[in-house]
Amino acid sequence: MEFQNTNKPVLPRWAETVRQKYLAGEASVFILYGNVFDRTLLSGKSYGLVSFLADVLLVEKKQRIFELCLYRGLKVLHGGSPAEKDEIYRHLEGKGLAGIFESLERRMREYPSNALIIPYAGSLLPAAEPQFLSLDERSAFIALHRWSLDEELSAKDNLIILIAESLAELNPALPANPRVAAIEIPMPDRATRDLAIHHYAPGMSDDQAGHLADQTAGLRIVQLATIVASDAPQGLDEQQRATLIDELLKGTPNATERAAKLAAITSGMTPDEIRQLIDPARSLPEAENPYEEMIEIVRRRKRELIEKECSGLIEFIEPRHGLDAVGGNEHIKTELMEIARMIKSGDRSRAPMGLLAVGAMGAGKTFVIKAFLKEAGLSGIALKNFRSKWVGSTEANLERVLSTVKAMGPIALVIDEGDRSFGNQSEDSDGGTSSRVIARLKEFMSDPENRGQVLFILMTNRPDKLDTDIKRPGRLDRKIPFFYAETAAERAAIVSAILGRYGVTSAIEMSALEKICAPLDGYSNADLEALTLLALEFAEREKSVVDEKLFVLAIDDFLPPREVAMLRYMEMLAVFETSRRSLLPQRFRSLTPEQIQEKLTELRLHIKR
């Protein structure tokens, strides 16, 4: 069988892989997974996946092409006379799924060169324990399994293509079958995004399209179309959007130029949404990047689209402060600044694969990591709860998140309270879901292709609950320990930084602030912030600035939470996990591994009493 001749356009890489594997006789049953609900662009036309398979890849090489899915049963897409189609439909009436597979098998044996496309294959061949499958679902699986191994069916040039968003949706015995080839359809790369932008917005300049292609990593072609299509199917066309935006910007510098650029990236938006998006007070940059305003709006729309696409599984992190807003923690800031320098300079080959931030609660892990993202110029997303009670859904959710993250690189994937999401869990309690999730995460974290593209950042105060292998170098290379401020000067620096973040002018000199903070040994960063806010509250009541008297009054009134044994245990865990002695406070640097282990054992026994 031959799919393509040299006079035809070049196929997408995944389609060419299908062609080569089929010609080599490697498989006659294929699973297409991943970006299966996107569009494929070829020769100036846009195709859905089933249409691309039936109308482009298979149409000239197969005598009959069938589609089978739950929502409309069996459909003949190509081939066969009208009388033959009527006969097929009459023959199958009332026979159910088993009858459809029986009829298809008979026709594939009698007539050569057939193709069967099964979209939403997970609905017919779901991932579930055999005892929970219906008789039809078992019959469908057995039929597909037999067909994949049947040499007679293969010899008659029959091809079956299953389509599923994730392999986790399918009966696991199918992708494990050596005669079944699973091929991932990737998210669009930059060249594909550039092609899509030109397709949906043919009037856009190459320079503008290139900037958009750079900023839309992680978006599907269908999502790009909702941003840049010149003429939306409904609503305002590009000229109407330009007129509306021009009116909104009237009286501002470069209004017409700005309106033209912004109209090009507001496709599909209602007038009210455009009014909320456009900022008349913002002027168009003249020199450094004339597309800055447009790019910022695209980023906002991209965040909305991806968060919606991932169904609340991820959330974009938008840090407001850099590391200069972090008080104290000088050794940690130095370490993170060096990592940020490598990333910003493009020296990603030496960038770590991942970071593990460990330390007691309230030590500033979350704030410092967010500040690091801003400093490094990295987009960051937080992984939310992707676990589901439905069989296979947790794994499918994770795959969706990881494929999105990889397509968006360079990016940081941030997981707070990592011990809750990825801690050791009994395989008996969840059917092995946790072990499969952790195994997939390990594979993703150690993938060399992700170095410099996906920085995995995990934060926890209980690293002892994490799977041990997830913490090894090559996955989480840098382990950064966070401790409460050791000295009065460090505590004063933290309080001063907090006042600065809130835009508060203080009447307290730094030397005086150090004296005030001297008795606050053991206060966490969170305690110091709560204390500072209390002093601000007192100042507002008295309509005055924060001074020494009010700060001392706040100290006398404030009662910090105290779980001394647990805090000491978490502190020692941070010492145990760190990858470098130079990141430790002086009092811990001389401890040997044996002494650290001994102290941990003693504290562990104490907190269990």
Domain contains 307:
no
Contacts of 299 (CB under 8 A, 6+ apart): 215
| Of 289 and 565, the one with more pLDDT | 565
What mean pLDDT do residues 547-575 have? Answer: 88
| Of 469 and 293, the one with more pLDDT | 469
Last residue of a domain, one of 453, 482, 511: 482
Does residue 390 carry a pLDDT above 80?
no
Least confident piece of the model among 255-269, 331-345, 504-518: 255-269
SS (H, E, C) 284-344: CCCCCCCCHHHHHHHHHHHHHHHHHHCCCCEEEECCCCCHHHCCCCHHHHHHHHHHHHHHH
Residue positions counted in the chain: 609
Does residue 1 carry a pLDDT above 50?
no
User: Quick one: pLDDT band at residue 282, thresholds 50, 70, 90?
Assistant: low
* Alpha carbons 453 and 310: distance in angstroms, whole number: 20
Looking at the fold, whether 149 and 246 belong to one and the same domain comes out as no
- pLDDT of 84 reads 64
Task: Put residue 354 in one of left, alpha, beta given phi > 0 → left and psi -120 to 50 → alpha.
Answer: beta
Nearest to 386 by CA among 302, 440, 311, 454: 311
Does residue 547 carry a pLDDT above 60?
yes
- pLDDT of 78 reads 87
What mean pLDDT do residues 413-433 have? Answer: 65
Looking at the fold, whether 546 and 434 belong to one and the same domain comes out as no
Looking at the fold, whether 162 and 221 belong to one and the same domain comes out as no
- Phi and psi (nearest 5°) for 458? -120, 130
| Of 30 and 81, the one with more pLDDT | 30
Looking at the fold, whether 118 and 202 belong to one and the same domain comes out as no
Amino acid at 396: A
Q: What CATH number is given to the structural domain containing 152? A: 3.40.50.300
* pLDDT above 70 coverage of the chain, percent: 88
Average pLDDT over the chain reads: 83
Contacts of 26 (CB under 8 A, 6+ apart): 181
Looking at the fold, whether 96 and 245 belong to one and the same domain comes out as no
Say what angle helices 255-263 and 292-309 make with each other, to 10 degrees: 30
- pLDDT of 162 reads 95
Sign of CA dihedral 416, 420, 422, 423: positive
Domain contains 299:
no
User: Quick one: pLDDT band at residue 432, thresholds 50, 70, 90?
Assistant: low
| Of 513 and 71, the one with more pLDDT | 513
* Alpha carbons 532 and 524: distance in angstroms, whole number: 12
Exposed e or buried b for every residue in 19-43, given b needs 16+ CB within 10 A?
Answer: beebeeeebbbbbbbbbbebbbbbe
- Phi and psi (nearest 5°) for 182? -100, 125
Domain contains 119:
yes
Looking at the fold, whether 420 and 321 belong to one and the same domain comes out as yes
Looking at the fold, whether 181 and 194 belong to one and the same domain comes out as no
Q: How far apart are the first and last CA of the chain?
A: 72
Does residue 354 carry a pLDDT above 80?
yes
In 377-518, where does DSSP find H-type helix? Answer: 393-408, 418-422, 433-445, 488-501, 510-517
Specify which of 90-99, 308-317, 551-560 reaches the highest per-range mean pLDDT. Answer: 551-560
Contacts of 5 (CB under 8 A, 6+ apart): none
Structural contact between residues 115 and 62, judged by C-beta atoms closer than 8 angstroms: yes
As for how many domains the chain has, the answer is: 4
* Alpha carbons 372 and 235: distance in angstroms, whole number: 41
Last residue of a domain, one of 482, 513, 539: 482
Q: Which two tokens stand for residue 326?
A: 């972090």
Q: Which structural domain range is residue 223 located in?
A: 190-293
- pLDDT of 102 reads 83
Domain contains 8:
no
Last residue of a domain, one of 185, 200, 223: 185
**Strand spans (E) along 124-277:** 159-164, 180-185
Looking at the fold, whether 444 and 501 belong to one and the same domain comes out as no
What mean pLDDT do residues 460-480 have? Answer: 86
- pLDDT of 294 reads 76
* Alpha carbons 456 and 133: distance in angstroms, whole number: 38
* Alpha carbons 169 and 124: distance in angstroms, whole number: 10
Looking at the fold, whether 98 and 159 belong to one and the same domain comes out as yes
Domain contains 367:
yes
* Alpha carbons 306 and 210: distance in angstroms, whole number: 20
Tens digits of per-residue pLDDT, 283-312? 544 444 556 777 778 888 888 888 777 766
Domain contains 301:
no
| Of 99 and 40, the one with more pLDDT | 40
Looking at the fold, whether 200 and 162 belong to one and the same domain comes out as no
Contacts of 571 (CB under 8 A, 6+ apart): 359, 360, 483, 484
Domain contains 388:
yes
* Alpha carbons 552 and 62: distance in angstroms, whole number: 84
Distance of alpha carbon 410 from the chain centroid: 11
Domain contains 6:
no
Tens digits of per-residue pLDDT, 7-27? 567 899 999 999 999 888 888
| Of 246 and 58, the one with more pLDDT | 58
Looking at the fold, whether 472 and 519 belong to one and the same domain comes out as no
Looking at the fold, whether 168 and 49 belong to one and the same domain comes out as yes
Does residue 265 carry a pLDDT above 90?
no
* pLDDT above 90 coverage of the chain, percent: 21
